[in-house]
Amino acid sequence: MSLENIKRIVITGGPCAGKTTAINNIRTYFEQRDKKIITVEEVPTEIMRMGINYSEFGKISFQKAIIDMQLKKEEVVMEAASSYVDKELLIIYDRGVLDHFIYMNPEEQKLISDELGIDKNGMYSNYDLIIHMLSVASELPSLYENNDYRSEDVSEAKRLDDLIGDIWRSHPDYIRIGCEKEFDVKLNKLINIIENDF
């Protein structure tokens, strides 16, 4: 499949980075401009909404299920994308495969990589652009808050944000967006980056 007309973008960031809100706004923005866009929901939240509990499922089983489901969703998306070879298509992923590795130690990462046949470094080629929206925990901790699917405190959220940077920084097109007191400013920066790249 030719990827010339397809732009695959990962929106990532630690807890309370504003990813989900941003992706919803990105979708609306580009649809209003008659651009074809596919958005892919964050897998862990999707699984937890099913009623699957992390602590009951077990850490390794949970992470393996998340990564396996992410890979399958990406296969489906790319299969669907093949019908848009003559049109520009924007694919936005709420997190990429490597995001899920930050919750495991090196031995656990190797175990799951071996079981699923994943080359972690090879995952970079699945995405054209990585946009890391920094969590407010990293820059504006007084604005940090949780939701029904997030339980990390500020220090843990910042630690996860740092790990996300570490795992994606080697991607050839990795961009960080800092926090703003007004979220619309952060959102506009994000949209401008995508629009200039798309």
pLDDT, one tens digit per residue, over 42-53 is 998 888 888 887
Spatial distance between the Cα atoms of 187 and 19, rounded to a whole number of angstroms: 10
Mean pLDDT for the stretch of residues 120-138: 92
The strand pairing partners of 94, in sequence order, are 11
Residue ranges covered by each domain of the chain:
6-197
Query: How far, CA to CA in Å, does 121 sit from each of 34, 67, 127, 133?
Result: 35, 15, 12, 21
Q: Buried (b) or exposed (e) across 90-105, using 16+ Cβ within 10 A?
A: bbbbbbbbbbbbbbbe
Spatial distance between the Cα atoms of 74 and 13, rounded to a whole number of angstroms: 19
What is residue 148's predicted lDDT score, i.e. its pLDDT?
A: 62
Domain 6-197 has CATH 3.40.50.720: no
What is residue 147's predicted lDDT score, i.e. its pLDDT?
A: 66
Contact 129, 176 (CB under 8 A): no
Spatial distance between the Cα atoms of 122 and 126, rounded to a whole number of angstroms: 8
* pTM, full prediction: 0.91
Average pLDDT over the chain reads: 90
- Give the confidence band of 149 by pLDDT, cuts at 50, 70, 90: low
Mean pLDDT for the stretch of residues 69-76: 95
pLDDT, one tens digit per residue, over 75-119 is 999 999 888 767 789 999 999 999 999 999 999 999 999 999 998
